Amino acid sequence: MTSAEVKGGHWFVVDGLALPRAVGGHPGLDFVNTLAGWAEAEPSDYLKTYDHLAVWASVSGLLEADAAAALRRRAASRKAEGDAILKDAKRFRADLRALVLDPADSRALRRVNGVVSRAATRAELVPGPGPAPRWSVGGGLERPLLAVAWTASELLTQEDLSAVGACPGDGCGWVFLDPRGRRRWCSMQWCGNRSKVRAHAERHRA
């Protein structure tokens, strides 16, 4: 896998695939942020193919680079299965966003729990790159999704979900941990500055 090359504010490129930058403070939230413009009729979706899903999981630390490469090769010859898993991942992403923003959403909880349960049945401790073991959720094409579900379960049970904020920027809606309650934007450099420029222009037009 080639090294990541930063291309712009919100995104960078790995192996020719555009992926969103991590701003959520947790991999589960960064997975939600693989789509921007949640309130838009035509949002920007970074999970365009199974390759995007596998590479995103790798650069997010949920999957080893060699495992991601092997899964991509396997998915190339099992396109229908890869496409189905990608569809499931996008559904899980929407349900996870709904749940972190409203933990009382029973429908989202039920759907998220269905995927988390699949991950739990396959989870096992395996030797890690260092002295400590790490979790693994198996080696099938569903592995990137199950790895996301496993880390999402940690997000949902170990983090204060009342500290999750959503960026109000146009075409954004990215979520992030905000334990101090002082953060408004996904990034002041991106959405925050755009808002300031827009407000400045409107004042001058008035």
For 125-158, what is each residue's pLDDT tens digit?
888 788 888 888 887 999 999 999 999 999 999 9
- Specify the pTM: 0.89
What one-character DSSP code corresponds to residue 73?
Answer: H
CATH architecture of 5-205: Orthogonal Bundle (1.10)
Which range, of 50-54, 61-65, 120-124, 198-202, averages the lowest pLDDT?
A: 198-202
Residue 39 neighbours by CB under 8 Å, 6+ apart: 173
Which range, of 12-16, 41-45, 72-76, 188-192, averages the lowest pLDDT?
A: 188-192
Is the pLDDT at 162 greater than 70, yes or no? yes
Which range, of 27-36, 55-64, 161-170, 189-198, averages the lowest pLDDT?
A: 189-198
Contact 17, 51 (CB under 8 A): yes
What one-character DSSP code corresponds to residue 6?
Answer: E
Q: Where is pLDDT greater, at 7 or 153?
A: 153
Structural domain boundaries in the chain: 5-205
